[in-house]
């Protein structure tokens, strides 16, 4: 591929600017993301005294367990995780996401074994640092801005890098070691960035649904196009027939176990006096095997069955990239995300080292672009498109452009008249 030299200079300039804006933050995000991958391994031994019980004696009924949980929880439980092993405590859940609280009941000793809150513990702090830099809503927007500029870094970096020197295939794998430290770290940055670029774009696709602006816009598109979860997926609009006696929780557990669903199986409790029970499974290894069954709370008869195919296309895509982002598809996905986090850290740190060796004192070292360069309609349209797709990026780009215009204006004012 023969590159346009002037375009290459211009893209290198913006790659440099994007790096100055985002690389220090990217180091933090890569390290915290890598650490958060160990969440389950870190928390399992800590929570084991709560989640594991001694299977001795006769367990009390699930209905009795629900009564124990309901009396102890601040908010009424909205779901129960079906225990599949005799030594597994029964988990009752209230709230969702960071507001989720899980209370565990030991059915053999008829007592609460403990409580786990999603917004407590070391890994929750790591997650908050990763997602919002411990700065709340403002930090979330900073992370979104950094992620937007990282897309620019990837796209411009691939163009600038390939082919960046006449060494054949060797240039894509081996950094130069005999041309000084700056060149070595520059090559480490370029090579690691090139090989991780495609995966990074996929990882970023899984990150944007959590952001404030892009995430909200995506949800709006889902609502308008009706490509999210159907309302009935959460039991909305479904009603039980009038009855005199409600089905016991024990009967619903038997029904759930008889379905033999893969993954973690949960029973959602009726949300109203005439609501329905909902049995579903969470199975990240194969999202297509996730199903939802709704049952009449009086008769126990099935009301509606829904499969993953009933979920809208955008929501299915969104859930796939979010699960991939968290390494939830199995060991291969987990190790791949760990590799991405490590390469991203190496890429970022090597770029910062190379920049520090290149930078002259008193200068930012922003690459210059020939005055003869004209971006062209294609580049302008691409920037406008990215500005709409990533609004915070568009706003920051506008502010940078205005800053350059002010700098040019005052430079001309200082020039002596001819």
Instruction: Annotate 140-174 with DSSP letters as a single string.
Output: HHHHHHHHHHHHHHHHHHHHHHTT-SSSGGGGGT-
For 279-317, what is each residue's pLDDT tens digit?
999 999 999 999 999 999 999 999 999 999 999 999 999
Lowest mean pLDDT among 312-316, 330-334, 385-389, 410-414: 410-414
Quickly count helices (H) and strands (E) in the chain.
12, 8
pLDDT value of residue 165: 55
For 20-68, what is each residue's pLDDT tens digit?
888 889 999 999 999 999 999 999 999 999 999 999 999 999 999 999 9
- Exposed/middle/buried for residue 411 (C-beta within 10 Å: 0-12, 13-18, 19+): exposed
Nearest to 16 by CA among 368, 346, 406: 368
Following CA atoms 156, 159, 161, 167 in sequence, which dihedral angle do they give, to the nearest 10 degrees? 180
Rounded to whole angstroms, the Cα distance separating 126 from 341 reads 14
The encoded tokens of residue 310 equal 């009933």
For 115-151, what is each residue's pLDDT tens digit?
999 999 999 999 999 999 999 999 999 999 999 999 9
- 229 band by pLDDT with thresholds 50, 70 and 90: very high
Range among 72-81, 355-364, 366-375 rated most confident: 72-81
Contacts of 23 (CB under 8 A, 6+ apart): 348, 351, 352
pLDDT value of residue 373: 77
Task: Give the neighbor-by-neighbor strand order of the sheet with 111-117.
Answer: 111-117, 101-106, 90-94, 79-81, 264-268, 276-282, 291-296, 302-307
pLDDT value of residue 167: 64
With contact defined as beta carbons under 8 Å apart, do 267 and 79 qualify? Answer: yes
Q: E strand or H helix at 104, and its extent?
A: strand 101-106
For 157-206, what is each residue's pLDDT tens digit?
888 887 655 666 777 888 888 888 888 998 899 889 889 999 999 999 99
- 360 band by pLDDT with thresholds 50, 70 and 90: confident
- Exposed/middle/buried for residue 297 (C-beta within 10 Å: 0-12, 13-18, 19+): buried
Nearest to 264 by CA among 254, 277, 249, 279: 279
pLDDT value of residue 11: 86
For 53-111, what is each residue's pLDDT tens digit?
999 999 999 999 999 999 999 999 999 999 999 999 999 999 988 899 999 999 999 99
DSSP bridge pairs for 90 = 105
What is this structure's pTM? Answer: 0.90
Beta-sheet pairing, 90-94 with 276-282: unpaired
Rounded to whole angstroms, the Cα distance separating 324 from 198 reads 14
Rounded to whole angstroms, the Cα distance separating 375 from 387 reads 16
With contact defined as beta carbons under 8 Å apart, do 9 and 370 qualify? Answer: yes
The encoded tokens of residue 131 equal 């997602």
Q: DSSP assignment, residue 236?
A: T
pLDDT value of residue 125: 96
- Exposed/middle/buried for residue 43 (C-beta within 10 Å: 0-12, 13-18, 19+): middle
The encoded tokens of residue 81 equal 């995780």
Contacts of 77 (CB under 8 A, 6+ apart): 66, 69, 70, 92, 93, 94, 103, 269
Q: How many residues does the chain have?
A: 418
pLDDT value of residue 374: 79
Mean per-residue pLDDT over the chain, rounded: 91
With contact defined as beta carbons under 8 Å apart, do 350 and 188 qualify? Answer: yes
pLDDT at 417 over 60: no
Q: Which residue has the higher pLDDT, 166 or 18?
A: 18
């Amino acid at each position: 591929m023969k590159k346009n030299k002037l375009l290459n200079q211009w893209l290198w300039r913006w790659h440099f600017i994007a790096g100055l804006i985002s690389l220090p933050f990217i180091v933090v995000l890569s390290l915290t993301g890598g650490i958060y991958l160990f969440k389950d391994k870190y928390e399992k031994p800590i929570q084991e005294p709560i989640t594991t019980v001694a299977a001795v004696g006769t367990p009390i009924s699930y209905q009795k367990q629900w009564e124990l949980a309901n009396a102890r929880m601040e908010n009424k439980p909205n779901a129960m995780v079906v225990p599949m092993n005799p030594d597994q405590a029964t988990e009752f859940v209230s709230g969702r996401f960071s507001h989720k609280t899980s209370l565990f009941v030991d059915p053999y000793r008829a007592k609460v074994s403990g409580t786990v809150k999603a917004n407590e513990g070391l890994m929750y702090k790591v997650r908050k640092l990763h997602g919002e830099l411990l700065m709340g809503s403002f930090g979330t927007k900073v992370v979104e801005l950094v992620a937007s500029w990282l897309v620019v870094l990837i796209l411009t970096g691939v163009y600038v890098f390939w082919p960046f020197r006449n060494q054949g295939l060797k240039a894509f794998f081996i950094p130069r070691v005999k041309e000084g430290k700056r060149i070595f770290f520059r090559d480490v940055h370029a090579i690691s960035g090139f090989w991780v670029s495609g995966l990074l774009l996929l990882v970023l696709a899984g990150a944007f649904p959590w952001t404030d602006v892009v995430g909200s816009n995506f949800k709006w598109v889902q609502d308008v196009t009706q490509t999210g979860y159907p309302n009935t997926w959460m039991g909305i609009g479904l009603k039980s027939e009038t009855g005199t006696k409600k089905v016991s929780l024990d009967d619903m557990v038997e029904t759930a176990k008889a379905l033999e669903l893969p993954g973690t199986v949960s029973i959602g409790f009726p949300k109203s006096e005439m609501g329905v029970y909902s049995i579903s499974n969470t199975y990240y290894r194969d999202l297509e095997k996730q199903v939802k069954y709704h049952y009449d709370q009086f008769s126990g008869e099935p009301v509606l069955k829904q499969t993953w195919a009933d979920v809208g296309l955008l929501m299915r895509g969104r859930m796939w990239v979010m699960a991939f982002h968290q390494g939830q598809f199995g060991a291969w996905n987990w190790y791949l995300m760990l590799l991405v986090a490590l390469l991203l850290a190496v890429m970022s740190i090597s770029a910062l080292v190379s920049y520090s060796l290149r930078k002259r004192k008193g200068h930012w070292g922003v690459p210059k672009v020939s005055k003869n360069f004209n971006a062209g309609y294609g580049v302008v349209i691409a920037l406008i498109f990215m500005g709409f797709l990533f609004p915070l990026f568009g706003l920051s780009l506008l502010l940078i452009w205005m800053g350059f215009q002010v700098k040019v204006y005052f430079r001309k004012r200082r020039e002596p008249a001819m």
